[in-house]
Amino acid sequence: MNDINNKLIDMAIEVSKNAYAPYSKFNVGAVLLMKDGSIITGVNVENGSFGLTNCAERTALYQAYTQGYRKSDIIKLAVVADTSAGVSPCGACRQVMSELLELDCPILLSNIKKSDIKETNIQELLPYMFNL
């Protein structure tokens, strides 16, 4: 694994500790690497009304867009969780990523042990994405 990927995964592991997951106890961290060198992070934030929960991937992407970035500014996304294999984004996150990321943007999926790391993109994760 190259140094940038390793650094992004390490950052996602560290930021996952900030997740608010009192119900699932499933902390997820996400890190975006931007073209200007900025790093934007996100964690999952749960709510007792489960439909109001927000995933780490969407938190990071929404934060980037809030700061004025757009899909062409994003170099890579890394997502981690305490799973046996690389974490898999939920369907809602995949759909949001299909709209807010370039379709070939590299997405790193890992676990906190870094024992399983996959590099993919949204075209592979959501081949039949909804679009207008």
For the stretch 41-88, pLDDT in tens is 999 999 999 889 999 999 999 999 999 999 999 999 999 999 999 999
Show which residues are catalytic. Answer: 57
**70 within some domain:** yes
Tens digits of residue pLDDT in 86-126: 999 999 999 999 999 999 999 999 999 999 999 999 999 99
- Structurally, the chain folds into a number of domains equal to 1
The model carries a pTM of 0.95
**131 within some domain:** no
CATH of the domain at 9: 3.40.140.10
129, two tokens: 């994405």
pLDDT band of residue 132 (cuts 50, 70, 90) is: confident
Nearest to 13 by CA among 109, 125, 118, 119: 109
What is the extent of the structural domain holding 22? 3-125
Residues 6+ apart with CB under 8 A from 20: 43, 44, 45, 46
Nearest to 76 by CA among 108, 100, 51, 48: 108
79, two tokens: 């997502």
**55 within some domain:** yes
**130 within some domain:** no
